[in-house]
């Protein structure tokens, strides 16, 4: 399966070694994200480090490790659907995720953002839904 992962889901995995991180590491799902996601995460580096109790080096190692499981897709692969995507969601910051979802024919978007549940064209999975759907026998 292939899912577009939003920035907040990745940030949750950076902050806590919990269900979000286990989902990202699931071999059953291939995650993709728009190219701006990494820059968005880096804008919040200090806050993430504070919440996760990580120093800069630990943060960078963890970020690199997590992105071994997430493919960054260049904008030219989905930019043709940006215009249409703007009609599907109110939050302009979420447009690249919708465009990538449509362009890649992904199985869904992983997001807990309420804006994503606005249109039928978009299949969205919340963290709890993914946790249930892809629960491994060893997870708590």
Question: Which pLDDT band holds residue 137 (cuts at 50, 70, 90)?
Answer: very low
Query: Mind listing the domains of the chain with CATH numbers?
Result: 2-131 (3.40.50.1010)
- The structure's pTM equals 0.90
137: Cα within 13 Å, side-chain hemisphere: 0
State residue 134's pLDDT score.
Answer: 60
Is residue 23 within 8 A of residue 135, CB to CB? The reply is no
pLDDT at 86 over 70: yes
- As a whole number, mean pLDDT of residues 105-126 equals 84
- Give Cα separations from 4 to 104, 137, 138 (angstroms): 9, 24, 25
pLDDT at 133 over 90: no
What does the pLDDT look like over 6-30, one tens digit per residue?
999 999 999 999 999 999 999 999 9
pLDDT at 119 over 60: yes
């Amino acid at each position: 399966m292939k899912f577009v992962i939003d920035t907040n889901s990745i940030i949750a995995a950076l902050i806590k070694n919990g269900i979000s991180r286990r989902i990202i590491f699931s071999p059953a799902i291939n995650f993709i994200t728009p190219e701006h996601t990494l820059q968005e995460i880096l804008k919040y580096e200090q806050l993430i480090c504070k919440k996760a109790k990580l120093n800069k080096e630990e943060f960078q190692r963890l970020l690199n490790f997590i992105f071994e499981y997430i493919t960054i897709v260049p904008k030219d692969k989905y930019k043709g659907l940006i215009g249409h995507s703007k009609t599907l969601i109110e939050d302009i910051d979420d447009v690249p995720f919708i465009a990538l979802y449509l362009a890649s024919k992904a199985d869904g978007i992983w997001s807990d953002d309420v804006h994503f549940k606005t249109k039928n064209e978009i299949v969205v999975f919340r963290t709890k839904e993914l946790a249930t759907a892809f629960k491994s026998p060893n997870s708590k």
